[in-house]
Structure 1
Amino acid sequence: MGFLKNILSNILIIIFLSTPVFIYFFVHLSNEIRKPLKTYEDNIIIEIKNGYNSKNIFKVLNKNNIINNKLIYEFGIINKKNYLPKYGQYYIKKNLSLLEILEIFNNGESIQHKITIPEGLITNQILSIIEKNKILSGEIDPSFSELEGIFLPETYFFTKGYDRNDLLLRMKSEMNKELDYEWNNRKKNLPYKSKFDALKIASIIESETGADSERKLISSVFINRLNKNMKLQSDPTVKYGLEKKNSNQIKIIKRSHLKLDHAWNTYTRKGLPLTPICNPGKKSIRAALNPIKTDYFYFVADSKGGHLFAKSLKEHNINILYLKNKNLIRLNDNKSIFLNDNNLPLEKPFKK
């Protein structure tokens, strides 16, 4: 009995003596994980790679002199509930505490890189931009090169090491969302059998003009022509098809090019080209599905980045004469109520 009492007494003494030590270390560690770290003097960028565990992350922090004490590091993790660090590049400001750094990892507040895809590029041009980006990773699936018109031009944000194919899938998904929205809000009685038909016209609009004020006007011309079963006669469709078939860039469209039949030539064939001819932006998609109602069937590019529109071939030829010879009289019935006056010539040619 006395033996047991001695054992119990010793245990109580140990517990009693240990409690202050335990409390001291607990308080010490609690303070250490909350106070600003002075082990690194400047802001720093570190990278946590995909698949890194707690041990790997400590090695990264230790290598960059952010935290050198593994006990403090482990205690900090214990104090973070549901701690699940995300991979990526992180910008670590100076004077942060260990808990603040772990919170950044847990929230995935990594550095966001961006890539901007301009409107009107063909798919191979987009793939080239993505391939050359050194922040992205992985090889591009070759099948993407056959998908014309389905990638939405936009600015996309991503973290270091983001997969190129995942980015392309995001761009494809964003195009589907945009096309679905505009399709569901389109004007009635448009001559499209599917959303893909609308995408084809949007790509032609994108290739024909960069002027926002003209997109819906140009759309109206193509809609009017489709409704009258007229050939679209769009130069960019000819250029796209020839470059796709011959892999040679064409700088100037010649009259002889217009006669070379292929599945995209809207001079030799009625209806729509086989596929879109570029990857159109949101404004061109909107224009294709919400055109202005006009009586225009023709347009010709002017020298200022715009176009002159005409209701008949006679008017169209007058516009061409004006642009070629600069024979001027005052504008009358050719003046469009849809165009801003600043974008129009003040005078037009006289047909003798």
Structure 2
Amino acid sequence: MLTGGGVFALFQWAQKEYRAPGPLAERTVVVIEPGSGLQRIARQLSEAGILDRPEVFIAMLRYTGEYRDLKAGEYAFDPAVSPEAVTRKLVDNDVLSHAVTIPEGLTVYEIFDLLRQNTDLTGELPDGVVEGTLLPETYHFNRGESRADIVRRMQIALQAVVADLWENRSAGLPYATPEEALVLASIVEKETGVALERPHIAGVFVNRLNKGMRLQSDPTVVYALTSGQGPLGRELTRQDWKVDNPYNTYQNTGLPPGPIANPGRDAIAAAMNPMPTKDLYFVADGTGGHAFAETLKQHNRNVAAWRKAKSSGN
């Protein structure tokens, strides 16, 4: 039978063990399932090599009462983590954070495909999500968060960005609502991957809209042909430009009826504050950017130069 002094010595030893570095040799991830009790958690941590004396962990948590505050979740433990540090993680719900990055310019269909493939997310995707209402960005989440929650966060983020940028838009834009600005932003997004070009391309489209010229944007034709369900998989032809579809800006004047993708903040900012320019045309320049022109004559020269560079493989 332990004397008072023996009990005190045992308690001191347990405290020392509780605070000492543990046996874990490498970073380890453990998922504590909902409903797990103290005994099950201690056994799981021991089997994962995080605790070498689970009985000390159990005894100290019962002594402090913190066993009531342990939370389920996915936890990452560093090498030599002490039982006390393990407790702090589980009590503070310091769970492992995951991230999903949504590239700019994807359609709702393509974004949903990315979310569907992410196995750290759960649940079904919502119905009725409109094109151009999701903000491409990196979103952090905890394992088990629902796909529908990520979609809602993307929608809220887009609304906040649009509200901010619309409030500070340029005067005299040829569209009256932020929804129309998003349509142009989506076209700008699909036309170039060069961030510095976006305001210039937006300026060209604004000029064309103001003059009643057709936008003649190839990405709108691609959207007309695919309905946003992935890339076309081939180059456009002159016959494609004749497709009878409201999204085809070679056949219809003005903006298409809705966005053709989900634009990022920079493209939205470009549509709200386009670059002042007299240019009415642009074409790929063979280097990843575009050559701009005020006149059709100059544009045709740029097109010829692009075709020559393309045929030579440059």
**Where does 1:297-336 land on structure 2 (aligned, <5 Å)?**
297-324=280-307
**Matching of residue 157 in structure 1 with residue 140 in structure 2:** yes
Offset, 1:324: 4.4
Provide the C-alpha distance between the structure 2 equivalents of 1:295 and 1:250, rounded to a whole number of angstroms. Answer: 34
Structure 1 residue runs of 5 or longer lacking an equivalent are 1-16, 327-352
Q: Quick check: 2:42–2:54 contact (8 Å CA) kept in 1? A: no
Distance change (3 Å), C-alpha of 1:105 and 1:204: same
1:215 matched residue in structure 2? 198
SS at 1:292 equivalent: coil
Which of the residues 162, 181, 187 maps onto 1:179? 162
Q: Quick check: 2:110–2:229 contact (8 Å CA) kept in 1? A: no
Which of the residues 2, 11, 17 maps onto 1:32? 17
**Matching of residue 263 in structure 1 with residue 222 in structure 2:** no
1:46 matched residue in structure 2? 30
SS at 1:261 equivalent: coil
1:191 matched residue in structure 2? 174
Q: Quick check: 1:243–1:250 contact (8 Å CA) kept in 2? A: no
Offset, 1:54: 3.9
**Matching of residue 205 in structure 1 with residue 166 in structure 2:** no
Distance change (3 Å), C-alpha of 1:59 and 1:180: farther
Distance change (3 Å), C-alpha of 1:319 and 1:43: closer
The code of the aligned residue for 1:97 comes to S
User: What is the RMSD of the two structures over their aligned residues, measured on CA atoms?
Assistant: 2.9
The code of the aligned residue for 1:275 comes to G
**Matching of residue 273 in structure 1 with residue 273 in structure 2:** no
Distance change (3 Å), C-alpha of 1:36 and 1:177: same
SS at 2:227 equivalent: helix
Offset, 1:277: 0.6
Provide the C-alpha distance between the structure 2 equivalents of 1:274 and 1:77, rounded to a whole number of angstroms. Answer: 64
Q: What's the TM-score, normalizing by structure 2?
A: 0.85
SS at 1:157 equivalent: strand
Which of the residues 234, 249, 260 maps onto 1:251? 234
Provide the C-alpha distance between the structure 2 equivalents of 1:24 and 1:157, rounded to a whole number of angstroms. Answer: 46
1:103 matched residue in structure 2? 88
Which of the residues 131, 134, 157 maps onto 2:116? 131
1:166 matched residue in structure 2? 149
Provide the C-alpha distance between the structure 2 equivalents of 1:180 and 1:309, rounded to a whole number of angstroms. Answer: 31
**Where does 1:84-95 land on structure 2 (aligned, <5 Å)?**
84-95=69-80
Provide the C-alpha distance between the structure 2 equivalents of 1:70 and 1:218, rounded to a whole number of angstroms. Answer: 67
Structure with bigger RCO (C-alpha 8 Å, 6+ apart): 2
Structure 2 residue runs of 5 or longer lacking an equivalent are 310-314
1:235 matched residue in structure 2? 218
Which of the residues 259, 267, 277 maps onto 1:294? 277
Q: Quick check: 1:77–1:102 contact (8 Å CA) kept in 2? A: no
Offset, 1:322: 4.2
SS at 2:256 equivalent: coil
Identical counterparts, % of pairs: 35
SS at 1:158 equivalent: strand
1:282 matched residue in structure 2? 265
Q: Quick check: 1:84–1:106 contact (8 Å CA) kept in 2? A: yes
Distance change (3 Å), C-alpha of 1:247 and 1:52: same
Residues 193-235 of structure 1: per-residue CA shift (max 9 Å, x gap)? 2222111111100111111221111100111122223222211
Distance change (3 Å), C-alpha of 1:32 and 1:76: farther
Q: Quick check: 2:38–2:58 contact (8 Å CA) kept in 1? A: no
Aligned residues: 307
Distance change (3 Å), C-alpha of 1:255 and 1:41: closer
Residues 78-101 of structure 1: per-residue CA shift (max 9 Å, x gap)? 537697444332222233221111
Provide the C-alpha distance between the structure 2 equivalents of 1:270 and 1:107, rounded to a whole number of angstroms. Answer: 58
Provide the C-alpha distance between the structure 2 equivalents of 1:243 and 1:210, rounded to a whole number of angstroms. Answer: 20
Provide the C-alpha distance between the structure 1 equivalents of 2:205 and 2:67, rounded to a whole number of angstroms. Answer: 57
Distance change (3 Å), C-alpha of 1:117 and 1:217: same
Provide the C-alpha distance between the structure 1 equivalents of 2:63 and 2:176, rounded to a whole number of angstroms. Answer: 60
Distance change (3 Å), C-alpha of 1:272 and 1:163: same
The code of the aligned residue for 1:90 comes to Y
The code of the aligned residue for 2:31 comes to E
The code of the aligned residue for 1:203 comes to S
The structure that has the greater radius of gyration is 1
1:61 matched residue in structure 2? 45
Distance change (3 Å), C-alpha of 1:85 and 1:149: farther
Offset, 1:258: 1.8
Q: What's the TM-score, normalizing by structure 1?
A: 0.76
